[in-house]
Structure 1
Amino acid sequence: MISYDPLWTTMEKRGVTKYQLIYHWGISSNTLRRIGHGEAISSHTLNELCLILDCSVQDILQFNASEEELASISRRKEEIEHFRSRKRKK
């Protein structure tokens, strides 16, 4: 799961508010809503935020895999490996 928690800390450190992002920098309020709800944003928006805040991607988001996500990926990897091994036997 992607978390945007670092963004709020970075904004505070840089003295940038949501208001400024919207009205001074042209970041849409819908984009900030999406970020606030942990939803996806475009790489273009991510790039813009990095430029505005003079920071790196790690200062805006972080990846935290849940146990459920890790288990799901593990099952998928097993299925792929099973499929590949069956193809090799043919």
Structure 2
Amino acid sequence: MIKYDPLWRTLKEKGISQYQLIKDYGIDKAQLQRLRQNLVVKTLILNRLCQILNCRIEEIMEYVPDDN
């Protein structure tokens, strides 16, 4: 399973709020909701987040094996 928990930590470390992502950088609210729920998101969004945060993909998402 892909989880986006690292994204929230990275946002905090960089001092960028979800509100700023929406208002200043044009990230769609629906995409942020999908990230919160660990749902599928477009790679375009992941690329944009890496640009905004000046970070690597590992600082936005992680793979966690399923329990079964």
Name the amino acid aligned to 1:34.
R
Higher relative contact order (CA 8 A, sep 6+): 2
Name 1:85's counterpart in structure 2.
Answer: none
Structure 1 segment 1-90 matched on structure 2, within 5 A: 1-68=1-68
Instruction: Compare CA radii of gyration and give the structure with the larger one.
Output: 1
Determine which structure has the larger helix proportion and give its number.
1
CA distance in 2, matches of 1:54, 1:12: 13
Structure 1 moving runs of 4+ over 3 Å: none
CA distance in 2, matches of 1:42, 1:56: 16
Name the amino acid aligned to 1:22.
I
Deviations 1:38-79 (A, max 9, x none): 1011111000000000000000000001132xxxxxxxxxxx
CA distance in 2, matches of 1:47, 1:23: 18
* Pairs aligned (count): 68
CA shift at 1:37, angstroms? 0.7
With structure 2 as the length reference, what TM-score do the two structures score?
Answer: 0.97
| Structure 2 unaligned spans of 5+ | none
How high is the sequence identity, in percent, across the aligned residues? 37
CA distance in 1, matches of 2:15, 2:67: 35
CA distance in 1, matches of 2:8, 2:67: 25
